[in-house]
Structure 1
Amino acid sequence: MIEAAMIWNEPNNKSHWDPELDPDWALYAAMAIEAADAIAAESPNVTRVLGGISPIDPVFMENMKGRGVLDRVEAVAVHGFPLDWNLWKVDEWPAKLAEIEAVTPLPVWVSEVGISTFGADEVQVWGLKRTAELLVGRAPRIQWYSLYDLPMEWGATTRHKEAEGSSYYRHFHMGLLRADGTPKPALTEFAKWTPAVGLVQWFHFEDPRLDDAVSWMKRLGVTYVRTGLSWADSFRPNADAWFDRMMLALDDFDVTVTFCFTPEHRGLAPHHTSPPAVSGEFAAFCARMMRRYGGDARSLSAA
């Protein structure tokens, strides 16, 4: 059911990992190694991927290499949003990939790339086309973020929220579909690039969009999808039932799961960006999820 397992999301981004608690990423590196080993022990055929980095930073990748993390994974990943958040142009995508390829021989996946309609729908149409022209055939994985706009009432998973100004509000306009499910103009352009380009869709706990999302992805010709299994959500009542439902719904796709988000009561600080307070607990969560979903979906009862 799981084709690839990604260890955290944007570990070099302070919206997802607290640099004040782990300024040199030593704690992240140790956690990532434990998680990679746990994933390999449970599902040796599943590709292990370093959490997609944002910004694209070869110095951070050198750090992970020096700490031995890259010896435990089979691919690395980058995230890029040059028309919304990054301080570089969309045409620089090949150069950005080359920066990481100069550090490691591992495949470099583009596990998130997207363009918002914050300014205009037409910007997303043009940007999607240009991004696909630059990346298809250049990167082994390209996953567009995202299928749906994020409903404003849900809030984005980031540290500073409204204090970020337009940088925060752009989170809500990244979809090919509006929050109400109606298509944007870029949806037609996206369909021209499948199956070479896949999708990223984060599903909130008991997300009502799940079945509609699966239907849309099949209609669009999508064959591979990236989503998340949240360690924090695993402590909610009926968490496994929701995880089961989500993973079964995605069974027809090649799925990359991203393991991430520290439960407030299990971190050094009470926040999803915190390193775990107890070494090994995140790896144990990854191992349990791989036992449950690393093989045939019909084996869930044996988890």
Structure 2
Amino acid sequence: MRQLTGPCRLVLLCLVAGLLCADALIPHDRVTQPFAIRALAESRAVGINSHLTTRYPDSATMPIPAAILADLGVQWVREDLHWHRIQPDPATWDWTFSDAALSALHRQRLQVLAVLGPAVGWATPDPTDHPNHISFAAPDEAAFVAYVAAVVQRYRHVVKHWQVWNEPDQALFWRPAPDPEQYTRLLTATARTIRAIDPTATIVLGGINPFETSFLRAIAAYGGWHAFDVIAIHPYVDPLNPVEGNLIAAADGVRAIAARYGWKPVWATEVGWASGASDRDPLALIDAAQQAAYLPQAYYALWQGGVSHVFWYALKDDPHNTYGLFAYGSGRADFSRAKPVAAALRDLAASMPTVDAAMPVTTIHLLDRQVAWQRPAQPNGSIRQAQDGLHIAYRFTTRANDYVAFELREPIALPAHTRALMVRLSGDGSAHHLRLWVRDAEGERFALTVGMIGPEADQVLSAPIGYRALQYGYVSGEGNRRPDAPLALQAIVVDDQYDGWSGVGELIIGEIAALVGEAGDGSYYTLPVGDTRPGTASEMTVKITAGAAVWLRHTIPATR
């Protein structure tokens, strides 16, 4: 695919000159470094949220659950070092459970990601907090740093990876409301303290929602980007399964931000599905067999998306949330009731499969003939057909949500058994969302997000197409709000990644294709692997089955 031509660049400059009343495109808002969206992680690790320090009730028998973890074959565990248990009041330090848990895990040679926080009541300004109990209010910074210093000093020889807080972008875990400026100050002070005690330590961000990246962007804007070494995400998509939720794209947004501010590895320090009713699935749409099937699918998808370390949530069920490998049973010390998902994790950790053969899907090109496009409402973009593809120019001028849609005058029918839609494009470095609208038999519109628009280089993006994935993407139309076959491609949409962006841009779409598999053969989707320059890109077709994912590699011909 060719790069943007000189005349195209001239047009963009003229458009910029015309935006006298709008904010110009800020240079640091462009993605200037290529970012490997959906590239296979160089290293892959299996982890689990073990929570022995805070949930296992008997410090004397801590070697029992530690041995169970080792038997599962995981390499990593995630442990909470709750402040209120270690320092229940300013004058008291209680290391009983943390000593027992970390010692038992160390003897099993398990690597530990230790979570620092949350607050203790006596160290917050919230008058409703019990002084000795856990609190999710923003803590006194000096008191928090003193707690961190004591913990790191004590465990620096057995813990080398420290996560600062859990989900600070969620109102449940940072009261009274998420505050990225306040968290950035705490993160920076904590990181400085940890590195002073142990310069070899790794600082991990506090596990954010990757599908809404404004909090991470704010951390960077407040100067916190260099305070941490690893971006941690919590890419929950349940009750959608890993394919329907397009889990492979979970790290796209944070990777685009890293392309602006500096590359960092991405870990998923929580991901999971419950085996019954849960906070995220109150209707119990997922059972124990499905939970077990989704575990390897989730790990494979995240690894393929460039996430190296994946931690399943969790080791044991809670009474009201059945995310665990073991049922709650008679209590937190009862490990007698392993669920099918425990065997799935053990098998995954034991095999760590690489590439196997699979039946290929059929690729059907949807734009292999002249089609007519129209811009239905938004006056802020244009589309034209050229020899190398569709050239889309757009202009976003507000601090609200900007988008532009280009509709086909005659929607293109999707073949039966379409498993995914694939787009080949050359981007402009904006990291905006590229979406496709699909129309169903009742005329309703449903949106699929195929990915983020990367730099000026060949890029292949795809999105699975399925009943539940489409239903969650309902846009408009009178009907039952369910995607009824037959389906048709209706529009291409460019949507700003965050509302604060303004400026102009252009991308070239070289191809839109349907990936078709026979009924009952599993769910397929496509992703780029390795070098994505013209003539060197390769395509990996992934087949998700009940318990595994298998891949088929073949070469993408260069677009000239």
Alpha-carbon distance in 1 for matches of 2:302, 2:187: 34
Which of 212, 218, 234 in structure 1 is aligned with 2:225?
218
Structure 2 counterpart of 1:172: 174
Match of 1:258 among 269, 278, 292: 269
Please point out which of 294, 306, 324 is paired with 1:293.
306
> Counterpart of 2:48?
50
SS in 2 for 1:109: strand
Q: Deviations over 1:24-51 (max 9, x none)?
A: xxxxxxxxxxxxxxxxxx7683122232
Contact 2:79/2:113 (<8 A) preserved: yes
What's the CA shift for 1:227? 2.4
Rounded Cα–Cα distance in structure 2 between residues aligned with 1:84 and 1:232: 31
Residue 80 of structure 1 corresponds to 81
What SS class does the counterpart of residue 234 from structure 2 fall into? strand
**TM-score w.r.t. length of structure 2:** 0.35
Q: Is the 8 A contact 2:66 2:105 kept in 1?
A: yes
**Corresponding residue to 2:148 among 120, 124, 128:** 128
Q: Offset at 1:277?
A: 4.4
Does the 8 Å contact 2:116/2:163 carry over to 1?
Answer: yes
Counterparts of 1:69-218 in structure 2 under 5 Å?
69-70=72-73, 73-83=74-84, 89=93, 91-92=95-96, 93-102=98-107, 104=108, 106-116=109-119, 118-120=121-123, 121=140, 122-146=142-166, 149-150=168-169, 152=171, 156=172, 171-172=173-174, 179=179, 181-182=181-182, 187-194=188-195, 196-204=201-209, 205-215=211-221, 216-218=223-225
Residues 174/247 of structure 1: CA separation in 2 closer, same or farther (3 Å cut): farther
Question: How far is 1:191 from its partner?
Answer: 2.0
The offset of 1:245, in angstroms, is: 1.0
How far is the alpha carbon of 1:69 from its aligned partner? 0.9
TM-score (norm 1): 0.59
CA distance in 2, matches of 1:233, 1:214: 31
Contact (CA 8 Å) 1:75, 1:109: kept in 2 or not? yes
In 2, the alpha carbon distance for the partners of 1:240 and 1:44 equals 15
- Relative to structure 1, is the Cα distance of residues 247 and 56 closer, same or farther in structure 2, using a 3 angstrom cutoff? farther
CA contact (8 A) 1:84 1:115 kept: no
Identity across matched positions, percent: 9
Cα 1:85–1:129 change in 2 (3 A) is: closer
For structure 2, the 5+ residue unaligned runs are 1-39, 57-61, 124-139, 309-453, 462-526, 529-560
Aligned-partner residue type, residue 253 of structure 2 = R
Specify the code of the residue in structure 2 equivalent to 1:123.
A
Residue equivalent to 1:247:
255
Matching residue's letter, 1:77? R
When the two chains are superposed, the root-mean-square deviation of aligned CA atoms in Å is 4.1
Change (3 A) 1:144 1:53: same
Question: Which residue is 1:10 aligned to?
Answer: none
Does structure 2 retain, via aligned residues, the 8 Å contact 1:225–1:254? yes
Q: Which has the higher helix share?
A: 1
Contact 1:90 1:131 in 2 (8 A): no
Deviations 1:81-132 (A, max 9, x none): 1425898945454443113234x1x233133122426432143132122122
CA contact (8 A) 2:237 2:247 kept: no
Matched letter for residue 49 of structure 2: G
| CA spacing shift, 1:134–1:225, aligned 2, 3 Å | farther
Closer, same or farther: CA 287–137 of 1 in aligned 2, 3 Å: same
For 1:193, give the aligned amino acid. Answer: I
